[in-house]
Amino acid sequence: MNFRYTTLSIVAMAITGSAMAQLATPRSAVHSFSTAAEAQLTPREPQHAAANAQRGNGVVFSEDFANGIAGNNGGAGAWTVEGPNGNIWKFQNTGPNGAYTTGNQYIQSTTAANGAAIFASDSANTDWSVTPITIVASPVNWEASLVSPLLDLSASPYVEIEFQQRSRFCCDQSPFFLEVSTDGGFSWPTAFLTNPGLPLNQGAPGVGGGPVTTETRVFNLTNAIAADATQVKFRFRHNSESGTSHYFWQVDDIEIRMLGEYDLRLVSAANTSFDLAAAATYDSLAYTIFSYNQLRPLGLNMTVLNNGSMAQTDAVANFTVMEGSNTVLDQDQPVADFLPGEERLIFVDPGFTPPAVAGTYNVDYSITSSATDPVADNTGSSSFKVDANRYARDGGSATGYDDGDGAGGVFIFGNMFYAANAADLYSISVLLGAQSVVGDLVVGQVRATDEDFSLIASTEEIQITSAMLNGTGGTNFTELLFSSPFTVEAGTDYLISIEVYGSARIGVSGTSEAQTSFIYYNSPTQGEDWFYTTTTPMVRMNFDATVGIEERDLSNGVALGQNIPNPVNETTTIPYVLEVPAAVTFEVRDLSGKLVQSINQGKRGAGSYRMTMDTGSLSEGAYTYTIIAGAVKQTKRMTVVR
């Protein structure tokens, strides 16, 4: 796979109008830094006090920032700030502000009234000398840490940390990290990304995840402090290497708690597991719909944590797959001895291949043992669909729309797909949004995954009509048909894209892994180039041979579709369907009724067909074409242009 591309500022600080209305500088897509627990923890709701009491044996450190940097932590000591931009950390009971941070966005933590720690990136990147205020010409990716007092946790080496936060970031990787030191702050070998699962620029139009809210995060520190629990510090670091200059990070109500003896936690669960750095193909992306011809083993998996102070010796992982009321899979897997603080990724074994039965498949995951588990956080779920012909990565209904540069400039938008098996692709599906210009053109494309995303094949162009357009939540896809089916090769990756000639808005729904969904447009800062986007374009593959034939066209066991393209200059393709075997002949007549062409297709069995017709001998004008299948006739019109 190619890692040349840079991140797209597709939703960079976009509040109103085009998603490209406000942009930050695109950043390098590949970083050298790594984290200890990136993308491992899922957002959790704040736990009730009773649940916390059940989980462990008490709080060993707490902080609510009532005294600001001096600390309100039972005498543990003052906090410090580090890094070249440490002065951006503030302690206040009002929300952050700045050119892109408007309104009241203050954290709604338990003790918000007495203040919180706030890193206001936007404020520091705002030019306050002008009215109205604006973001500076070259926003800075700030580097700063808020560092705890020194803690001796040797009397309680099995602990977890919980805190409440409100965060939003743009326009590259999340910069918010919890880091742990066991040598008094000299080195920081353990780093946890604090907001995995939250999308880039959450809260902007078209971005999933809902509005920005206050959340509670919990991290197990047992392994992080094992080297020397007497010299522990932790810090909240805004990491400049992430390439992110906006928006803010607010932290409050921190607790370090002792763990109980037995507590299994299911950290995350998914249908597949995709690692950009390690993957050779796009096989294991989070596809939402699998067509019959692209079914293959799925890497159902769960990440589980021994969040207690005792080893677990009889843990069992369970994978259950249901299609409606039908149990498709119910599989227990014993887990080898599970040490305190250990986190483990467990895949279904043997692998699971969904059946070729259309429907929604709901997957339940659980981790259990014979020990009493005090908190019900050991289950998870996911889902996917199987369809006869559709192959998709989007969420199904539009959460927003993208229109490139918003000015009708060059605009190509699409997703990576992996073809597990060879098959004929008949159309590319796209969801078009309101405010697309009726009469402008769109075309579907199959592109290679080389450095330039070379064009391999194109559908016929279509003109946008008002009937194709959708609003928020829209589900009406438009089919862009190939004149002849394109055969995808087994074991091959493709970029399936839409190119717009004019102004069109293409739906987005869901979150894409980095470097797996792409846009080509004219960036105001980078010029025309490819960028990746983390919102999923609503662009799909369709293997339906009958696409273009409406159900209403079926009469007496025969259906005749509209020729593609129409108007036609040289050759055109005519789709048709037979429900029973028949001898098939096509007749072409001019408007006077004169027979100008006859094509004998011979005896055909029941099925879907496409016939290619050469119109080179026909004069410009209107014609009818008729299928004669046994005793059944159907007729449609076509136009020949020169």
pLDDT in tens, 106-131: 999 999 999 999 999 999 999 999 99
d(CA 386, CA 298): 12
Pairing state of beta strands 343-347 and 390-391? unpaired
Among 296, 253, 329, 191, which Cα is nearest to 49's? Answer: 253
Tokens 């006869």, residue?
388
Q: What's the pLDDT at 206?
A: 63
**H or E, element range at 195:** none
Residue 580 to residues 548, 630, 635: CA-CA distances in angstroms?
Answer: 20, 10, 19
d(CA 147, CA 368): 37
Given a cut of 50, the residues of the chain with pLDDT beneath it are 1-56
d(CA 225, CA 260): 17
Q: What's the pLDDT at 549?
A: 77
Q: What count of other Cβ atoms lies within 10 Å of the Cβ of residue 568?
A: 21
Q: What's the pLDDT at 201?
A: 84
d(CA 580, CA 557): 7
* pTM confidence score: 0.78
Cis status, amide bond into 171, omega within 30 of 0: yes
d(CA 36, CA 301): 19
Q: Where do the domains of the chain lie, and which CATH numbers do they carry?
A: 31-258 (2.60.120.200), 264-388 (2.60.40.10), 391-542 (2.60.120), 551-640 (2.60.40.3080)
